[in-house]
């Protein structure tokens, strides 16, 4: 019987690993649909940013209450998974609590810490469910939060609650079995939280307790493995994607827009300027590239990675001044649409379909011109994001395409562009009159 359980456990691990590896490869392929760009510089600053923002949760604490609850979830997720290591080794070797004899008196202390965090995770999830479904916080009920995003958020919270209840139930049954069958069930001492559940099971037989303990053990470990696979399809992929996304953060100052390499190369060719030493020349100097972005393959791979790192928390949208004044723009939707388009194209390519030739595009079919024209380029969304996602970069690339490829900008914008071209300023007056206001000011002071 023991060998059958070990074989079943190894098979479960193998199946989960297969689906997880396959999904990770698909996500990587989706991200690499974007243009190649080098972000290898500033390594010291990148490590610092990742440690502070992703690992240290620095930007979360701009809102203290949800930050504290999220911290409990975050720490609980990391620390409780240390106990999962024991689960895995027990499952493979057929032992029961194999760390207990080696850790001695330290083991009960660690188990109480794990249970404290489990209760913290449970309470945090309950509060988050209340915030989403009872209090209906505005940023969780926006138009882009359709049936699946809402279900996904609630489903994850319910799963986490179920996993924590399973741990506490398993430990309660285990403590009773330690008294009845001490030869097999290693002593853990009194575990504060799970011991509160022990009166519920005291009248049960040994076989019933073993069935409860084993079923909760299997539920938890299989649940963890299924959870790991599920989150690769969920917004909760940010649990892992936050780390590379913050490492590849944009190191240039906020508000500084990147020049378009396509335009720079074209101007240099027109002026006969050769590339500087140490830089690579344009691959196809006779072919002018696309200005801006129409689809996800026109974006940087880092932009697409940011879409997969998005947790749909809505902080960006709640801080967006355009959204606050009733405009159609939602930075969160920009990232969700980018991820959905990358998923659609990636799945099509993987199945031998049309890929980018499916008659759709990110601009138009997913994101409208009205949305991108509402953006004020203020960087509020970039500053608000807890994991340094940059929706503004995508918006700017889409606007560049509309302006330079379609000439589709609003008339007021075209007038401004013409004034900049002829008068070197957004206003329609010659450069010679630029300081007339100062002369009038001097006259008043005299």
* DSSP per-residue codes, 132-195: HHTS--GGGSSTT--HHHHHHHHHHHHHHHHHHHHHHHHHHHHHHHHHH-TTTS------HHHH
Residues 207 and 340 in one domain: no
Say how many domains are in the chain.
Answer: 2
Residues 231 and 293 in one domain: no
Residue 56 to residue 49: CA distance in whole angstroms: 9
Residue 432 lies in a domain: no
pLDDT of residue 432: 81
Residue 332 lies in a domain: yes
Residue 366 lies in a domain: yes
pLDDT of residue 286: 47
Residue 391 lies in a domain: yes
Residues 295 and 229 in one domain: no
Residue 170 to residue 165: CA distance in whole angstroms: 8
Residues 222 and 298 in one domain: no
Residue 310 lies in a domain: yes
Residues 6+ apart with CB under 8 A from 335: 306, 307, 310, 316, 389, 391, 394
Nearest to 394 by CA among 385, 382, 406, 412: 382
- Token representation of residue 22: 């396959």
| Structural domain span for residue 375 | 289-409
CB 301 within 8 A of CB 37: yes
What residues in the chain have per-residue pLDDT under 50?
A: 285-286
pTM, entire model? 0.86
Residues 106 and 174 in one domain: yes
Give Cα separations from 291 to 264, 311, 370 (angstroms). Answer: 11, 30, 19
Residues 334 and 191 in one domain: no
**Three-class DSSP category at 203:** coil
CATH code for position 348: 1.10.1060
Residues 130 and 199 in one domain: yes
- Write down which residue in 199, 219, 235 finishes a domain: 235
- Write down which residue in 206, 235, 264 finishes a domain: 235
Residues 172 and 104 in one domain: yes
CB 336 within 8 A of CB 144: yes
Residues 72 and 148 in one domain: yes
Residues 12 and 135 in one domain: yes
Residue 282 lies in a domain: no
Residue 157 lies in a domain: yes
Residue 114 lies in a domain: yes
Residues 100 and 231 in one domain: yes
Residues 73 and 174 in one domain: yes
pLDDT of residue 1: 56
Residue 350 to residue 29: CA distance in whole angstroms: 9
């Amino acid at each position: 019987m023991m060998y059958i359980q070990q074989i079943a456990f190894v098979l479960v691990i193998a199946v989960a690993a297969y689906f997880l590896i396959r999904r990770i490869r698909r996500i990587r392929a989706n991200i690499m649909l974007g243009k190649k760009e080098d972000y290898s510089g500033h390594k010291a600053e990148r490590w610092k940013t990742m440690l502070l923002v992703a690992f240290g949760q620095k930007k979360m604490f701009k809102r203290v209450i949800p930050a504290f609850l999220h911290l409990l979830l975050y720490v609980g997720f990391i620390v409780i998974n240390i106990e999962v290591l024991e689960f895995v080794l027990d499952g493979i070797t057929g032992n029961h609590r194999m760390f207990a004899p080696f850790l001695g008196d330290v083991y009960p202390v660690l188990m109480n810490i794990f249970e404290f965090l489990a209760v913290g995770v449970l309470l945090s999830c309950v509060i988050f469910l209340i915030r989403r479904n009872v209090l209906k916080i505005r940023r969780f009920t926006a138009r882009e939060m359709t049936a699946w995003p809402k279900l996904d958020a609630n489903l994850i919270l319910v799963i986490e609650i179920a996993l924590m209840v399973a741990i506490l139930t398993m430990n309660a049954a285990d403590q009773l079995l330690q008294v009845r069958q001490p030869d097999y069930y290693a002593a853990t001492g009194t575990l504060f939280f799970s011991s509160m559940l022990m009166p519920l099971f005291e009248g049960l037989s040994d076989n019933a307790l073993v069935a409860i303990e084993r079923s909760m053990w299997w539920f938890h470990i299989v649940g963890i493995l299924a959870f790991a696979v599920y989150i690769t399809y969920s917004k909760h992929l940010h649990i892992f994607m936050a780390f590379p996304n913050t490492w590849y953060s944009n190191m240039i100052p906020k508000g500084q827009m990147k020049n378009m390499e396509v335009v720079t190369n074209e101007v240099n060719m027109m002026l006969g300027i050769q590339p500087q030493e140490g830089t690579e020349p344009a691959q196809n100097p006779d072919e002018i590239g696309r200005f801006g972005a129409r689809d996800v393959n026109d974006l940087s791979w880092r932009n697409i990675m940011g879409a997969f790192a998005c947790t749909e928390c809505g902080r960006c949208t709640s801080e967006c001044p355009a959204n606050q004044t009733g405009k159609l723009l939602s930075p969160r939707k920009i990232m969700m649409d980018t991820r959905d388009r990358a998923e659609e194209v990636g799945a099509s390519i993987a199945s031998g379909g049309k890929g980018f030739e499916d008659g759709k595009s990110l601009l138009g079919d997913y994101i409208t011109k009205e949305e991108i024209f509402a953006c004020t380029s203020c960087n509020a969304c970039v500053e608000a994001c807890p994991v340094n996602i940059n929706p503004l970069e995508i918006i700017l690339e889409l606007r560049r395409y509309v302006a330079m490829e379609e000439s589709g900008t609003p008339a007021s914008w075209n007038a401004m562009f013409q004034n900049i071209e002829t008068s070197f300023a957004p206003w329609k007056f010659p450069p010679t009159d630029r300081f007339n206001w100062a002369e009038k000011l001097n006259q008043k002071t005299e």
